[in-house]
Amino acid sequence: MEEVELCFPQLLNTSCRKPKHSSSHILLLSVLLSVVSFLTVSLNLLVIIAIVHFRQLHTSTNMILLSLAFSDFFVGFLFLFQLLMVDGCWYLGNLMCALFLTLDLILVSASVGNMVLISIDRYVAICDPLHYPTKVTLKRARVSVSLCWTCSLIYSTVMLRENLDHLDKFSSCAGDCTAEYGPTELIIDLFSTFLIPITVIIVLYVIVFVVALSQIRVMRSHVAALTNRHSKRALPKKSELKAARTLGVVIIVFLLCLCPYFCISISSLDILLNNLTGVYVISLFYFNSCLNPLIYALFYPWFRRSIKIIVTLKIFKSGSSNTNLLQP
């Protein structure tokens, strides 16, 4: 008979069995997770430093991007937990398992919430540009971000309350790390962190896309002087349209990385948490956190300029926080 590998060989009766994975797959995934973890942490740290340090970047939109960068930054550390689970076993005990699953749920819900806030921000900026500066202020953006994180924390605590009260529920055997969800919790999670937010995001961005196209045509036409004057007052700035395009790319990439994660988690939570396929799917979702700063670098000149100042240590010069990053 083929020998069965255990997560904890010394615990013959209580240890989980190791899934059968080839050593090449495990090695490849370990290297990949290590590299992506380092890139995710370092790139999002650059975003955080840039937005916090440079006063010119203290805008309502960038406040939401800062919140997203914080969630992405911590996702980089979750890669390290995934690195420990590439062989299908959890070695850190029930307490660390509870911390991992709670932090994962908080970051997932916070990321979804940040994407909804980005969609609302672009909707107001494009569809109601006259009132955007008064409707979407820096103070309101900060309050919205704080509420997003507070709601994520409360939601995660409520969803895992039974498991947190009894830590032994996180493992059916030594080497397992799963949370028990009832049918009600699964339905609530499906609607609150997937179906409803994704529907809101898609609907708002479809409206933004349609309105932006029509207003671009109006700005290009300039048929009459009256139309020109009206366009200058009521139409969004070119920078707002560019921001809508950039953040639209961020949202599309987010949806592409999110959907496989939720589809598998809905079909089978065991596959998601205790299977090599699940590791790949979770890693794809986490990889989105590494892609966001790369999208900023591709579309935002201010981010490229800020990186240059940070990397060359010019950020430590007096008055560097007043640097003009938005110059043409």
pLDDT per residue, tens digit, the chain (328 aa), is: 345 678 888 877 788 888 776 777 778 878 888 888 899 999 999 999 999 999 999 999 999 999 999 999 998 888 888 777 777 788 888 888 888 889 988 998 998 899 899 889 988 988 888 888 899 999 999 999 999 999 999 999 988 888 788 777 777 788 888 777 777 877 888 888 888 988 898 888 888 888 877 766 666 665 444 444 544 445 566 666 666 677 778 888 888 887 777 776 666 555 455 555 666 777 777 788 888 888 887 788 888 899 999 999 999 988 899 998 876 5
pLDDT the model gives residue 16: 83
pLDDT the model gives residue 181: 73
pLDDT the model gives residue 150: 96
CB neighbours of residue 6 within 10 Å: 18
Residues whose CB is less than 8 angstroms from the CB of residue 211 and which lie 6 or more positions away in sequence, other chains included: 126, 127
Cβ distance 269 to 178 under 8 Å? yes
Topology at the third CATH level for domain 23-322: Rhopdopsin 7-helix transmembrane proteins (1.20.1070)
Question: How many angstroms separate the CA atoms of 33 and 89, rounded?
Answer: 16
Question: How many angstroms separate the CA atoms of 287 and 80, rounded?
Answer: 13
pLDDT the model gives residue 139: 93
